[in-house]
Amino acid sequence: MRCRQTGSLFIRRDIAIRRRQLASNSNVSKYRFDRGGADHCRRSPGVLRVPATRSSRHRKYCGGYCYLNNNSLAAQSLLDEGAARVAILDVDYHHGNGTQSIFYERDDVLTISLHADPKVEYPFFLGYADEPGSGQGHGFNVNYPLPFGTAWDSYRGALADALDKVRKFSPDALVVALGLDTFAGDPTTFFEITTDDFSRMGAAISSLELPTLVVLEGGYSVDWIGENTVKFLGGLESG
C-alpha cells in the first residue's frame, strides 16, 4: 500500500514487513509511532497468519488459532514509542477476547469489538455488551454482539456507533483487527457482509482520519480473502 503525506502523526514505513518474516507474528511488535519527520506512512497493512485476537496475557490459555496477539503487540509498541492513547477496533466475526483481557483494566487503550453474539458463537464466555472494563479501564472496552445473519444494513449502524466512540477517545493511532470471516461466503460463520461492503467498511473507518494499522485476522473463504482485503484497503485509502 502506498504511503501518503499526512502531517505530524504517522506510523513509519521502516517497519515494512520483509517477505521472509511474514511467518513471524512478532513482526507487529516492530511498528513504530513517531511525531514529525519525512519518512512516513499514514496507513499500513500487516499481512500475518495465524490470527491473534484470542491470545491473552494470561499464560493459561491461547484461544482460536491464536498464540501471539498481534494487534495488542502493535498497540503496546505504539504506546512505547510515544503515543498517549491507542484504539483497537476489532471487526473479526469472533469476539477479540484476548485483546479485551489484555487491556481490560487500562484506560490508555480503547478496545472495541463487533462480533457474533457469544450466546451462540465462540468464544461464548466473553464478548457481551455488559463488559465495560474494570478499575481504571472502566468505560474503555465496548462490545457489539450481533445476531446471526447480520448484513451491512444493520452492521453499519453498530460500526458508526463504534467509530463515534473512537472519536471521543481521541487516540493518537488506530489498530484495526481486520477479520474477513464476516464475509457472506465464509464457510465457518453466519454474517452476510459482501465484498463491496468491505470497501464501505474501510471508507467508514477512514473517516476517523487517524494513523491506522490494519492487522489481518480471521477469514476462511480462501478464494475471496485476497479480493476482500483489497476492497477493504481500497475503501480505507479512498475514504
Task: Please list every residue from 78 through 117 that binds Zn ion, using CB under 5 A.
Answer: 92-94
At closest approach, how far in Å is the CB of 188 from Zn ion? Answer: 8
Task: Please list every residue from 177 through 196 that binds Zn ion, using CB under 5 A.
Answer: 179, 181
At closest approach, how far in Å is the CB of 184 from Zn ion? Answer: 15
* 218, 229, 235, 236: residue in contact with Zn ion (rule CB under 5 A): 218
| Euclidean distance between CA atoms 218 and 111, whole angstroms | 18
Cα-trace Rg, the chain: 16
| Euclidean distance between CA atoms 6 and 191, whole angstroms | 35
Query: How is residue 114 annotated by DSSP?
Result: E
At closest approach, how far in Å is the CB of 217 from Zn ion? Answer: 6
| Euclidean distance between CA atoms 231 and 221, whole angstroms | 15
123 contributes a contact to Zn ion by CB under 5 A = no
Beta bridge partners of 146: 116
Site string for Zn ion, 44-83 (x = CB under 5 A): ----------------------------------------
At closest approach, how far in Å is the CB of 65 from Zn ion? Answer: 9
CA 112 and chain centroid, separation: 9
Nearer to Zn ion, 47 or 84 (CB): 47
> How many angstroms separate the Cα of 227 from the Cα of each of 157, 161, 196, 198?
24, 27, 10, 10
Query: Which parts of this chain interact with Zn ion (CB under 5 A)?
Result: 92-94, 179, 181, 218
